[in-house]
Structure 1
Amino acid sequence: MLIEIGLGRPLHLQRWDSLATQVNTDFEVASQGLNELKETPWENSLDKSAFIKAIENCLWYKNFGPIDTTSAAVPSPAGNQDGRTSLQIDHTRRVFYDKVVWPLQWLVEFGHQSAGYLCENQRPLQISRASSTRKDLEEDIQFPPTEFHASRRINPKDWLSNLKVINKAIYPKLQNLIVDGQGVRVGERGIRVAILDTGYNPEAPLLAVEAAARCFKGWKDFVSGSDVPVDSFGHGTFMATVLIHSAPISEVHVARVAENTNNLGQCSHQVAEGIRWAAFEQNADIISMSFGFPAFDNETYGPISKAIDEVKMKRDGRIIFLASAGNSGVYEDETFPATNSSVISIRATNCLGEFMNTNPRNSSDNRVVFGAIGDDIPLHLREFHPEVSLPGTSAATAVAAGTAVIMLAYVLLLPQLLEIEIQEHKLKRLWTTEGMRKMFMKMSDDMGQQQRFLNPVKFFRDKPGPLDKYCAIYDCL
């Protein structure tokens, strides 16, 4: 199929009664077609080589050879009717993804000239699709159709636009739902995010519009005691802006715990009180902290650790803590509270999922770290306070909080979307830090070196219906 796409014409395949004969002759025709494709000129040799490599990986039999199940570290499960084991099937799928699907995905997303060549040379194909056997399941989230682009350059706004597609599908159905101790019932409560930062300015252009202003539900100033929202520094305003534009279905509660970066070191008690306020008075589902203290400063972070432990105990673990890992670079450790075991540490990536070199080093070789988009933030989100609206883990933490909001909101909708009985007691685990950590593992891309890129758009796009999404969520929890 790939060779036919590259050549722009079908291969001449014959039908044989013997499976061995069929496979061998098909292989020979494919090899000849590959040789012809190699001689076919493309405008971009780099992109062509990626396409060719994917085909060669398909045809190289050693890529899909049997795995060794005699090792003591590898179990030997019972085989299928055709003699293949579940381990072998899983191994084959992983190899196929790494050596075939990933090069093609790279080509479509980041290639420039070759995709245009494919567009110009492909011929109409008659494809019959079987109708869905579950017509009772109405698709909940629909993305624009996938297509080859003559020129593909990643727009920093693309990820935000796709997140808005998800939010737009969820929001109308979310307004009348609530989670409580007994399960899902009718109510007026949304997903609550508490931002602990320098406050927020309601007059900021992107926050003053009615749709954004409606998101703000709570305010507390632990610095000057102001009854009205204030932010003399701008960092908290930026965090609120990124969160609302990542997940406009959020209900935002802001605690002003420091006036600016210079004063943060003396504000550990304000941070601790902000955590308690968010958890007990505002009943927040998520607490987002885009700041950090040196990990070795026990005197500073002691009160904050105590507050986190208290909240976790009194809420029976039903709260999610997120914190930025810091922007000190690979020569420094990540900061606190990101280092707290009850907190999900967030690093920064660009819009392609590549981890920024300003991220702190990973202190443990066996520990997986998560990254969210903290670079390539659209310019219009950074114009109000450009001096503090900088790339890094702060913005990434706000995006991660928005991702968590989307997942919690979607779980609330599942009983409406599915006509089967769902295990709500298990889905409630998503409202814990550990549960959301498992969800992040499920919906993230492995970028190597124990780094995983949060990719909610891909998670929703690749699962065609709510049943598929429910199964994936249930499985990871």
Structure 2
Amino acid sequence: MEGSDHGDDIQMLEAGEFSPQVSSDATEENLASVQKFVAVCVTVLMICSLVYIGTIVFGGDGFVTYRPGDQALESQEIYSELIDFDGIKLNGNGVTVCIVDSGIMPEHVDIEDAEIVMWKDFVQNRAKPYDDHGHGTSMAGILIADGWMKGIAPKVDLLVAKALSEDGSGDDGIVAEAIDWCVVNGADVISLSLGGAPDILPFNIGSGRGSDDAAADAIDQGVFVIAAAGNDGGDDDDGDVSSPCSERLVICVGGVKQNGEHWSGSSTGDNNGRAFPFMLPRSDPHQKPELVAPAQKVPVINYEGSWSLVDGTSAATVYVTGAIALLLQENPQLSESTSSSNSDQVKEWIQQSVQPAEGQTGHDDDYGYGLLKIQALLDMADS
């Protein structure tokens, strides 16, 4: 995407590869910080498939069935129980969700009956839905699958904006355009399983309007924005969650393992404030991440027609997206807001309904306020 008019050319870069434009009097220390923190990369936040899982079943009548393997089905059951999704009768009907990602391959058996209400390709301007990376299809399946895999909200009205290229990266300005498109076309919820380093515009003047700005504008118009915390937890952590997840009113999602413990790859939030890049301390209910959801060995559909187990806060993001869609189905008045007041309200409900880790008091920079519990969230709204 060289020569794009949409801002910085975004690529998947190793640490130290990017040389940002800074003023000539910038110190070496500040330059190193810029290289670490500047928002120059928006990429998918799902680690490559751990294993492709499929089983061929031969029927006595001569028919052959290809289905996910037992490990994928067991993982689906474990996570469904972990987040209290079992027994919920809602399906997202009447709620419009927009996924900004690498596209969607609607021919997969688990989503072939889903209706894509609207599609926009910001990368190659193709008229029909496609996915040349696969990440977007996998994320869509967590939301709308209604076959072997069971999505959290399979009956939502789905908008899909392709803003990431075949290598899973994208221009932050194009992602911002895609977010704007979601808003214009009536999205109630925008799901962003992507992210980059937090923005420090004073040292990156040419970057223009970014995904964090677009997310904030969407929320100001009453749209819920859910985004991934990031996958640089542990020794590689850059000190905060990804952008636009770092935006104040965005619902930022970290990850857990099948036993409910924190997934070590999930990015840690910085909630104490800092001098460079400048950030005020965050306060409740906006500390990052706000909550955690399934992020390790998550069963997903693949754009080739198969299934996989994957890691990443990308997946966790869509679980929360689905939960918010169910919340809006049961409480449609929340979608009528044209201001950020609804996001403030739902964040308070999230803080009060999640399950903290054992021994946790208050917010935790890794675990957020706690683990997503869908039924408890719905009950909180009804109380």
TM value normalised by structure 1: 0.51
Superposed CA deviations along residues 8-49 of structure 1, whole A, max 9, x for unmatched, are xxxxxxxxxxxxxxxxxxxxxxxxxxxxxxxxxxxxxxxxxx
Corresponding residue for residue 404 of structure 1? 324
Instruction: Write 1 or 2 for the structure with the bigger share of helix.
Output: 1
Is residue 345 of structure 1 aligned with residue 290 of structure 2? no
C-alpha distance in structure 2 between counterparts of 1:387 and 1:247, whole Å:
19
Q: SS state of the match for residue 395, structure 1? A: helix
Q: SS state of the match for residue 233, structure 2? A: coil
**One-letter code aligned to 1:372:** A
Corresponding residue for residue 247 of structure 1? 153
Corresponding residue for residue 264 of structure 2? 357
**Cα offset, 1:251, TM superposition:** 1.6
- Select the residue among 194, 202, 207 that pairs with 1:291: 194
The question of whether the paired residues in 2 share the 8 Å contact of 1:205 and 1:384 is answered with no
Instruction: Write 1 or 2 for the structure with the bigger share of strand.
Output: 2
Q: How does 1:265-414 map to 2 (within 5 A)?
A: 267-280=171-184, 282-296=185-199, 298=201, 299=204, 300=207, 302-313=209-220, 315=221, 318-330=222-234, 331-332=237-238, 333-364=240-271, 367=287, 369=289, 370-378=291-299, 381=301, 384=304, 390-412=310-332
**Cα offset, 1:199, TM superposition:** 0.6
**Cα offset, 1:459, TM superposition:** 5.2
**One-letter code aligned to 1:354:** E
The question of whether the paired residues in 2 share the 8 Å contact of 1:194 and 1:252 is answered with yes
**CA 1:227/1:296 → structure 2, altered by over 3 Å: closer, same or farther?**
same
Is residue 256 of structure 1 aligned with residue 162 of structure 2? yes
Q: SS state of the match for residue 120, structure 2? A: strand
The question of whether the paired residues in 2 share the 8 Å contact of 1:408 and 1:431 is answered with no
**One-letter code aligned to 2:98:** A
- Select the residue among 355, 374, 380 that pairs with 1:456: 374
**Cα offset, 1:336, TM superposition:** 0.6
C-alpha distance in structure 2 between counterparts of 1:328 and 1:199, whole Å:
24
**Cα offset, 1:352, TM superposition:** 3.2
Q: Select the structure with the greater relative contact order (CA < 8 A; seq sep ≥ 6).
A: 2
The question of whether the paired residues in 2 share the 8 Å contact of 1:199 and 1:237 is answered with yes
Q: SS state of the match for residue 218, structure 1? A: strand
CA RMSD of aligned residues (A): 3.1
**One-letter code aligned to 2:77:** K
The question of whether the paired residues in 1 share the 8 Å contact of 2:108 and 2:305 is answered with no
The question of whether the paired residues in 1 share the 8 Å contact of 2:218 and 2:225 is answered with no
Superposed CA deviations along residues 59-92 of structure 1, whole A, max 9, x for unmatched, are xxxxxxxxxxxxxxxxxxxxxxxxxxxxxxxxxx
Q: SS state of the match for residue 292, structure 2? A: strand
C-alpha distance in structure 1 between counterparts of 2:166 and 2:308, whole Å:
10
C-alpha distance in structure 2 between counterparts of 1:351 and 1:457, whole Å:
18
**CA 1:164/1:283 → structure 2, altered by over 3 Å: closer, same or farther?**
farther
The question of whether the paired residues in 1 share the 8 Å contact of 2:90 and 2:153 is answered with no
The question of whether the paired residues in 2 share the 8 Å contact of 1:234 and 1:388 is answered with no
C-alpha distance in structure 1 between counterparts of 2:261 and 2:198, whole Å:
25
C-alpha distance in structure 2 between counterparts of 1:456 and 1:322, whole Å:
15
C-alpha distance in structure 2 between counterparts of 1:286 and 1:207, whole Å:
20
- Select the residue among 199, 219, 229 that pairs with 2:129: 229
C-alpha distance in structure 2 between counterparts of 1:262 and 1:458, whole Å:
34
Q: SS state of the match for residue 371, structure 2? A: strand
**One-letter code aligned to 1:256:** K
C-alpha distance in structure 1 between counterparts of 2:233 and 2:99, whole Å:
24
The question of whether the paired residues in 1 share the 8 Å contact of 2:134 and 2:302 is answered with no
Corresponding residue for residue 381 of structure 2? 473
C-alpha distance in structure 2 between counterparts of 1:433 and 1:427, whole Å:
12
Question: Highest CA radius of gyration, 1 or 2?
Answer: 1
Corresponding residue for residue 435 of structure 1? 345
Q: SS state of the match for residue 87, structure 2? A: helix
Instruction: Provide the identity percentage.
Output: 23
C-alpha distance in structure 2 between counterparts of 1:383 and 1:432, whole Å:
35
C-alpha distance in structure 2 between counterparts of 1:239 and 1:426, whole Å:
23
**One-letter code aligned to 1:276:** D
- Structure 2 residue runs without a partner (length 5+): 1-73, 145-150, 273-282
Aligned residues: 272
**CA 1:368/1:222 → structure 2, altered by over 3 Å: closer, same or farther?**
closer
Corresponding residue for residue 178 of structure 1? none
**CA 1:425/1:440 → structure 2, altered by over 3 Å: closer, same or farther?**
closer
